[in-house]
Amino acid sequence: MRLHVVYDGDGKIVAAVRLDQAGETNHPNVGLIRPVKKPGHSSADVDVPADQAHLSFVEACQQLTVDASGETPRLKPRSILGASD
């Protein structure tokens, strides 16, 4: 699953949209409409890791976080400490 995510400084996903559903719907705007980031937020196009591919869209947004520490942002499982956020 490929997502466009808007995330805060802690990597928490605050808005997201699937980018890979174009073949699953007849709507021409799928993948074109994206959430807009506000000051203090960042955005990126990211893939859900293969070991988390079983997650639904909603579960991915709740259980994954953005790791922007490397050259390219990526999704990773949320830590236990941040799981209740």
Query: pTM, whole model, 2 decimals?
Result: 0.81
pLDDT tens, position by position, 10-46: 999 999 999 886 555 556 665 667 888 999 999 999 9
pLDDT in tens, 48-77: 999 999 999 999 999 999 999 999 999 999
pLDDT attached to residue 28: 63
**pLDDT category, 83, cuts 50, 70, 90?**
very low
Tokens of 29: 């705007």
* Percent of the chain whose predicted confidence (pLDDT) is above 70: 79
